[in-house]
Amino acid sequence: MSLSFLEKVLFLIERYYPLFLSGMATTMLIAITGTVAGFVIGLVVAVIRTIPVSEHDSKFKKIALAIVKFICVAYIEVFRGTPMMIQAAVFYYGIFMGVNIDLTLAAFVIVSINTGAYMAEIIRGGIISIDKGQTEGAYSIGMNHRQTMTSVVLPQAIRNIMPSVGNEFVVNIKDTSVLNVIGVAELYFQSRSAAGTYAMAFQSFTIAAVIYFFLTFIVTRILRLIERRMDGPKSYVIYGSQTNPDAEIRIKKGGARNGRY
Amino acid sequence: MAVIELSHLEKSFGEIEVLKDISLSVDKGEVISVIGASGSGKSTMLRCINLLEKPSGGKICFHGKDIMDKGLNLSEYRAKVGMVFQQFNLFENMTALQNCVVGQIKVLRRRKEEAEEVARENLARVGMLQYINAKPRQLSGGQKQRVAIARTLSMNPEVILFDEPTSALDPEMVGEVLAVMRTLAESGYTMIVVTHEMGFAKDVSNRVIFMDKGVVVEDDTPSVIFQNPKVQRTKEFLARYFAS
> pLDDT tens across A108-167, in order?
999 999 999 999 999 999 999 999 999 999 999 999 999 999 999 999 999 999 999 999
HEC profile of chain A: CCCCHHHHHHHHHHHHHHHHHHHHHHHHHHHHHHHHHHHHHHHHHHHHHCCCCCCCCCHHHHHHHHHHHHHHHHHHHHHHHCCHHHHHHHHHHHHCCCCCCCHHHHHHHHHHHHHHHHHHHHHHHHHHHCCHHHHHHHHHCCCCHHHHHHHHHHHHHHHHHHHHHHHHHHHHHHHHHHHHHHCCCCHHHHHHHHHHHHCCHHHHHHHHHHHHHHHHHHHHHHHHHHHHHHHCCCEEEEECCCCCCCCEEEEECCCCCCCCC
Torsion angle of alpha carbons B86, B87, B90, B93, nearest 10°?
A: 180
Whether residue A144 sits in one domain with residue A26: yes
Residue A44 lies in a domain: yes
Residue A213 lies in a domain: no
List chain A residues with CB under 8 Å of B82.
Answer: 140-141
Of A137, A238, A255, the CB nearest to B91: A137
In this model, does residue A260 exceed pLDDT 50? no
Of A141, A255, A257, the CB nearest to B107: A141
pTM over 0.90: no
pLDDT tens-digit series, residues A87-100: 998 888 887 666 77
Whether residue A252 sits in one domain with residue A224: no
Task: Calculate the alpha carbon distances from A147 to A45, B106, B145, B160 in Å.
Answer: 17, 7, 23, 22
Residue A9 lies in a domain: no
Range A86-95 burial, b when 16+ CB lie within 10 A, else e: ebbbebbeee
Residue A220's identity, in one-letter code, is: T
DSSP string over B151-198: HHHTT--SEEEEESTTTTS-HHHHHHHHHHHHHHHHTT-EEEEE-S-H
Q: Residues near A8 by Cβ (< 8 Å), separated by ≥ 6?
A: A200, A203
Answer whether B89 sits within 8 Å of A147, measured CB to CB. Answer: no
Min Cα separation B98/chain A (Å):
11
pLDDT tens-digit series, residues B43-66: 999 999 999 999 999 999 999 999
* pLDDT of amino acid A246: 52
First to last CA, chain B: 40
List chain A residues with CB under 8 Å of B52.
Answer: 136, 139-140
Spatial separation of the C-alpha atoms in residues A107 and A115, rounded to whole Å: 12
* pLDDT of amino acid A98: 65
List chain A residues with CB under 8 Å of B93.
Answer: 152, 155-156, 159
Whether residue A251 sits in one domain with residue A145: no
Whether residue A137 sits in one domain with residue A261: no
Name residues 96-135 of chain A within 8 A of B (Cβ): 133-134
Min Cα separation A193/chain B (Å):
50
* pLDDT of amino acid A91: 86
Whether residue A36 sits in one domain with residue A119: yes
Q: Is A259 on the interface with B (CB under 8 A)?
A: no
> Sorting pLDDT into bands at 50, 70 and 90, what band is A38?
very high
Q: What is the CATH number of the domain that holds A35?
A: 1.10.3720.10
Whether residue A110 sits in one domain with residue A25: yes
Of B79, B106, B155, the CB nearest to A147: B106
Whether residue A96 sits in one domain with residue A62: yes
List chain A residues with CB under 8 Å of B87.
Answer: 133
In terms of Cα–Cα distance, which of B33, B30, B19 is closest to B196?
Answer: B33
Q: Is B140 on the interface with A (CB under 8 A)?
A: no
**Measured CA angle at A146 (ends A140, A152), to 5 deg:** 60
Please state, rounded to an integer, the average pLDDT across all residues of chain B: 94
Of A134, A140, A143, the CB nearest to B50: A140
In this model, does residue A199 exceed pLDDT 90? no
Residue B183 Rama label (left phi>0; alpha psi -120 to 50; beta): alpha
Spatial separation of the C-alpha atoms in residues A254 and B13, rounded to whole Å: 42
Min Cα separation A243/chain B (Å):
14
Spatial separation of the C-alpha atoms in residues A40 and A38, rounded to whole Å: 5
Least confident of A27-31, B171-175, B189-193, B209-213: B171-175
* Burial bucket for residue A217 (CB in 10 Å: 0-12, 13-18, 19+): exposed
Whether residue A143 sits in one domain with residue A66: yes
Domain housing A255? 235-261
* pLDDT of amino acid B6: 95
Q: Strands B207-212 and B31-35: what pairing?
A: parallel
Q: Which residue of A has its CA nearest to B135?
A: A236
Spatial separation of the C-alpha atoms in residues A255 and A252, rounded to whole Å: 10
List chain B residues with CB under 8 Å of A240.
Answer: 130
Q: Which residue of A has its CA nearest to B140?
A: A253
Whether residue A22 sits in one domain with residue A101: yes
Q: Strands B190-194 and B31-35: what pairing?
A: parallel
Whether residue A147 sits in one domain with residue A52: yes
In this model, does residue A247 exceed pLDDT 70? no
Residue A203 lies in a domain: no
Whether residue A122 sits in one domain with residue A59: yes
> Sorting pLDDT into bands at 50, 70 and 90, what band is A259?
very low
Answer whether A141 sits within 8 Å of B152, measured CB to CB. Answer: yes
Check if the beta carbon of residue A257 is closer than 8 Å to that of residue A241. Answer: no
Name residues 19-48 of chain B within 8 A of A (Cβ): none
Mean pLDDT of the region B148-166: 96
Spatial separation of the C-alpha atoms in residues A251 and A18, rounded to whole Å: 53
* pLDDT of amino acid A56: 72
Name residues 94-113 of chain B within 8 A of A (Cβ): 94, 102-103, 106-108
Check if the beta carbon of residue B55 is closer than 8 Å to that of residue B214. Answer: no
For this complex, say whether ipTM is above 0.90: yes
Of B78, B106, B134, the CB nearest to A151: B106
> Sorting pLDDT into bands at 50, 70 and 90, what band is A55?
confident
> Sorting pLDDT into bands at 50, 70 and 90, what band is A251?
low
In terms of Cα–Cα distance, which of B178, B239, B237 is closest to B211?
Answer: B237
Mean pLDDT of the region A210-239: 84
* pLDDT of amino acid A53: 86
pLDDT tens-digit series, residues B91-121: 999 999 999 999 999 999 999 999 999 999 9
In this model, does residue A252 exceed pLDDT 70? no
Of A134, A237, A238, the CB nearest to B92: A134
Answer whether A156 sits within 8 Å of B132, measured CB to CB. Answer: no
Total domains, chain A: 2
Q: Residues near B203 by Cβ (< 8 Å), separated by ≥ 6?
A: B222
Answer whether A236 sits within 8 Å of B106, measured CB to CB. Answer: no
Please state, rounded to an integer, the average pLDDT across all residues of chain A: 87
* pLDDT of amino acid B111: 97
Spatial separation of the C-alpha atoms in residues A109 and A91, rounded to whole Å: 9
> Sorting pLDDT into bands at 50, 70 and 90, what band is A248?
low
Q: Is B135 on the interface with A (CB under 8 A)?
A: yes
Q: What percentage of chain B reaches a pLDDT higher than 90?
A: 90
DSSP string over chain B: --SEEEEEEEEEETTEEEEEEEEEEE-TT-EEEEE--TTSSHHHHHHHHTTSS--SEEEEEETTEETTSTTS-HHHHHHHEEEE-TT----TTS-HHHHHHHHHHHTS---HHHHHHHHHHHHHHTT-GGGTT--GGGS-HHHHHHHHHHHHHTT--SEEEEESTTTTS-HHHHHHHHHHHHHHHHTT-EEEEE-S-HHHHHHT-SEEEEEETTEEEEEE-HHHHHH--SSHHHHHHHHHHHH-
Residue A207 lies in a domain: no
Residue A12 lies in a domain: no
Residue A206 lies in a domain: no
Whether residue A63 sits in one domain with residue A179: yes
In this model, does residue A244 exceed pLDDT 60? no
Residue A78 lies in a domain: yes
* pLDDT of amino acid B62: 95
